[in-house]
Chain A
Amino acid sequence: MTRTLHRFHGGIHLPDQKALSLGRPLRQAALPSELVLPLQQHIGAAAQPLVAVGERVLEGQMVARPEGFVSAPVHAPTSGTVIAIEARPVPHPSGLSALAIVLQPDGEGRTVEYQPHSDWSALDPSTLRNLIRDAGIVGLGGAGFPTAVKLNPGPHTAVETLILNGAECEPYITCDQWLMQERPEEIISGALIMRHALQAQECLIGIEDNKPAAIAALRSEVARRGLTEAIEVVEVPTRYPMGGEKQLIKVLTGKEVPTQGLPIAVGVVCHNVATAASVHRAVELGEPLIRRIVTVTGHGAAQPGNFEVPLGIPMGELLAQAGGTTAGFSRLIMGGPMMGITVEQPQAPVIKTANCLLAVTDDELERRAPVRPCIRCGSCAEACPVSLLPQQLYWYAKSKEFDRAQDYNLFDCIECGCCAFVCPSNLPLVQYYRYAKTEIWAQEREKRASDQARRRHEYRVAREERERLEKEARAKKKAAALAEGESDDKKAAIQAAIERAKAKKAQANATPPATDPPAEQPAGEGAAPAEEKH
């Protein structure tokens, strides 16, 4: 079973820190006093709340429904009471708050009745996708793209290869490794379900060769089920960023995903192994995505290890359950040291995409002092796994020449941090690219807004002009009528009105007071003089 592997450009070797969190068995996190469930834990539209404050919910109950196609619902991780729906701090580089459902667990653990589908192979792919969508499953590797959308290749697209990503190339994170070693049956079962949903021809599981135990566990599970023809577990070299979707596809299949395109363009769909395990739980057990495995690690954490946690547990609380922090602790990172984001507020919750809590000490990730000017050495271009020119992007981002940055394919940058890692001048290159990307998006938003404002202004000007012309026309007509005197029509109309008024008056005069008997009522003009005689 040898497969010709390919290479991706660039990449770096990072010192391994995985042993740090592998020394202890998996621990179950205790329920905190409140769970914070942000409505946006995925890429796409935020979910819409289905519950009201004060409502009691059960474990596994959907508390927010997806809004639109690219979206995902949110479920209650345990039974309890909704105590608030309000803006709460969320793990985001901005440190801003976002709308979240706050749940106070009652500790009873009452669940909704889960609907297992052990006969999923009889279901058609569309039904299967709906089950996965309703379970709120999103990519658990860190991107958080709704899995059901990715499992929908479209009506006329054949999927050749389903790849399960078990590379886990960030140096500290071990949650996928733990899952592969301890629960290979869930991953293989999820892989089969995904393959059925996609109608994919082959299935590959790519794992870096620094995780021999995980490779062995998955291989023996595949052999036990007699699936060696259907699923191949492939050992790939340890090289950061092997876990990047496009990099892993390149290494396993030799196919290059086109610029700004999706893997489906080359007939490949790539999912994380943890996502596969949660698909298994959603379909075969009927359990939605309400918990995940999180690595708590770093030299700033007293007892690092892997935890199975309910989603929504505050990060500070989880860190406290891992023995709290050590003396040298400096900051908390969500994700790995290369691509993670600093979490400023420890009350921010663990969300679906949080694979790792990294508590670092001051000297652990070298504070990259001092920043020096770019000397155009080109090391960054050699390290870039997407074959970009990081130094050019840096210059253009810095001088705000965003058009040029886009000409140099800024949006193909995966923000892996290889360029910044090798930079001898310690330039925070990725920050420049992130700055340029968000700046370009903002400019596009402003452009749309100004186009809209222009249209509205033009309509207004046109309307004012039309109203002015109408007013003028009316005034002109009136003036003309006055100038030429009353027209015949009008004269005739006035005359007719006078006639009518006269007739009416005459009739009124002819009519006797109401007390008179109607029979005596005289008719015609002859009666008028008689009345006058009275």
Chain B
Amino acid sequence: MLTAIFAVAALAVAFGLLLGFAAIRFRVEGDPVVEKIDALLPQTQCGQCGFAGCRPYAEAIASGEVEINRCPPGGETVVLALADLLGRDAAPLEGGEQQKLKAAIDEQTCIGCTLCLQACPVDAILGAPKHMHTVITTECTGCELCLEPCPVDCIAMVPVKLEIATWRWPLPKPPANREEGPRP
């Protein structure tokens, strides 16, 4: 009887130590789910989801506070990817699909106030006080955060030009009348 109690107690202590050691040795820094969600978000940092950037939104999704359909720049692709990752239902996108836009500064009107430089979350605007500013188009994420602070309204959002290299085949129209069978 006593032997059994000792044996079980000894095992408990041994495993306790092992687990305790493992908890310290293999400690996971941060929440890996947040990293994974953040990796799927388009990183426009636009705040259209109601959070101060992509990472705060990722944290909110991970904690289960918000729906996964609040990222308009990501579009349906991001909603589907998030649904796949988190095992949630893919809700239709809030606000619908958006056309991809990039900021363009009218350099004749720009007064060089640097307000847009401070607003750009990815440092995609180049300029200096009282000197003309310009957008580094390849780095612009189209977040529109520079529009509001501009005192002379010289920034416009311009649709990205369709090019052969980035052109996509359209999805063929589905059969007209009948619903298709079950999925594989």
Select one of B38, B169, B175 contacting A454, CB under 8 A: B38
Does B4 reach chain A (CB closer than 8 Å)? no
B residues with a Cβ closer than 8 A to A are 38, 41-45, 53-54, 76-77, 80, 121-124, 139, 141, 162-164, 166-172, 174-176, 178-181, 183-184
CB–CB A451/B43 < 8 A: yes
A interface, size bucket:
35 or more
Given A395-B184, A453-B122, A443–B178 Cβ distance below 8 Å?
no
CB–CB A460/B121 < 8 A: yes
CB–CB B164/A453 < 8 A: no
Pick 16 A–B contacts, CB within 8 A, sort by A: A94-B164, A376-B181, A395-B184, A398-B174, A399-B183, A431-B169, A431-B172, A438-B169, A450-B41, A450-B141, A456-B139, A457-B45, A457-B53, A459-B123, A460-B121, A460-B122
CB–CB B43/A454 < 8 A: yes
Select one of A435, A439, A446, A453 contacting B172, CB under 8 A: A435
CB–CB A93/B184 < 8 A: no
Residue numbers in B under 8 Å from A437 (CB-CB) = 169
CB–CB A439/B168 < 8 A: yes
Residue numbers in B under 8 Å from A376 (CB-CB) = 181
Complex Cα spacing A306 to B124, Å: 54
Does A267 reach chain B (CB closer than 8 Å)? no
A residues with a Cβ closer than 8 A to B are 40, 90, 92-94, 96, 98, 370-376, 392, 395, 398-400, 425, 428, 431-432, 434-435, 437-439, 442-443, 445-446, 449-454, 456-457, 459-460
User: Which residue of the partner chain A has the closest CB to B170?
Assistant: A435
CB–CB B168/A428 < 8 A: no
User: Which residue of the partner chain A has the closest CB to B121?
Assistant: A457
Given A371-B175, A435-B172, A456–B164 Cβ distance below 8 Å?
no
Select one of B44, B162, B170 contacting A96, CB under 8 A: B162
Given A428-B172, A450-B43, A456-B122, A374–B166 Cβ distance below 8 Å?
no
Given A96-B167, A438-B167, A442-B168, A374–B180 Cβ distance below 8 Å?
yes
CB–CB B43/A460 < 8 A: no
Q: Pick the 7 closest A-B CB pairs, nearest first.
A: A453-B43, A456-B122, A450-B43, A438-B168, A94-B167, A434-B169, A454-B43
Residue numbers in B under 8 Å from A94 (CB-CB) = 162, 164, 167
Query: Distance (Å) between the CB of B34 and the closest chain A CB?
Result: 13
User: Which residue of the partner chain A has the closest CB to B139?
Assistant: A456
Complex Cα spacing A92 to B167, Å: 10
User: Which residue of the partner chain B has the closest CB to A40?
Assistant: B164
CB–CB B178/A460 < 8 A: no
Residue numbers in A under 8 Å from B162 (CB-CB) = 94, 96
CB–CB B45/A453 < 8 A: yes
Residue numbers in A under 8 Å from B41 (CB-CB) = 450
CB–CB B122/A370 < 8 A: no
CB–CB B166/A442 < 8 A: yes
Given A456-B124, A460-B121, A90–B172 Cβ distance below 8 Å?
no
